[in-house]
Structure 1
């Protein structure tokens, strides 16, 4: 998991990313801020992040960032629901590529909020998308 934290450097949060979203965990204080650009259909075309989180939160952010490009708000929302249900122990592992690395953290409910932050931040950023008239 620690090796994933290094990958976050591949996704710098730059001022030219059009939309911003943030996820914050009151439980552990972790915070994920994402900036995204989107295409005409609303799918993410570019992403950057600032992650202040524990190793598990950083690993979750890396897993999310690896695969978030090309996804729209509906897809992110579906994935978030699948991950929440999985963390609660009510379903099989979600289809999100790389999520298996977070399996050991399922046993620690206090870490679940940190795991969900990048998907929540992506959804928040996409909800800030201005729709043309």
Structure 2
């Protein structure tokens, strides 16, 4: 899932200010609002690359709620000793030791945060397209 999608419905970029790790994510959603197409370009340290790999391997079929829950659980795992993500993103728990290195938290989160931003953008586009179609049918 490396690179860019030719016609994404949502695209987002996140940069970790401290180290410059960057993730650019493109998504396409199905009719139920789940991720059906995904591509990412990640320029990050090994930790950011590892997190991006887990996201890329598990994001297809995910809902915005699942991605948001994973982001929140990942953040809690890094900042306050939480257990970490569950379900399809549980493999992110392998990065639990990053909690001991606060300077690396942002780089570990960029891919997940960019994915969530891109999905939210695509959902907003879906809602706008639906309203436009409904208004045209009236």
Conserved in 2, the CA contact under 8 Å of 1:36 and 1:125?
yes
Gaps of 5+ in 2: 132-138
- In the TM superposition, residue 65 of structure 1 has moved relative to its aligned partner by 1.0
Which residue pairs with 1:26 in the alignment? 17
Aligned residues: 124
Structure 2 CA distance for partners of 1:67 and 1:48, relative to 1, 3 Å: same
Contact 2:77–2:96 (8 Å) recurs in 1: no
Q: CA RMSD in A?
A: 1.4
Matched, 1:41 2:32: yes
Which segments of 5 or more consecutive residues in structure 1 lack a partner in the other structure?
Answer: 1-9
* TM-score between the two structures when normalised by the length of structure 2: 0.82
What is residue 7 of structure 1 aligned with on the other side?
A: none
Q: Which runs of 4+ in 1 moved over 2 A?
A: 14-18
Asked if the contact 1:67/1:97 (under 8 Å) is kept, the reply is no
Q: TM-score, normalised by structure 1?
A: 0.85
Match of 1:128, SS state, is: helix
Cα distance in structure 1, aligned partners of 2:39 and 2:33: 16
Distance 1:82 1:97 in 2: 10
Match of 1:57 in 2: 48
Alignment partner for residue 116 of structure 1, among 109, 134, 137? 109
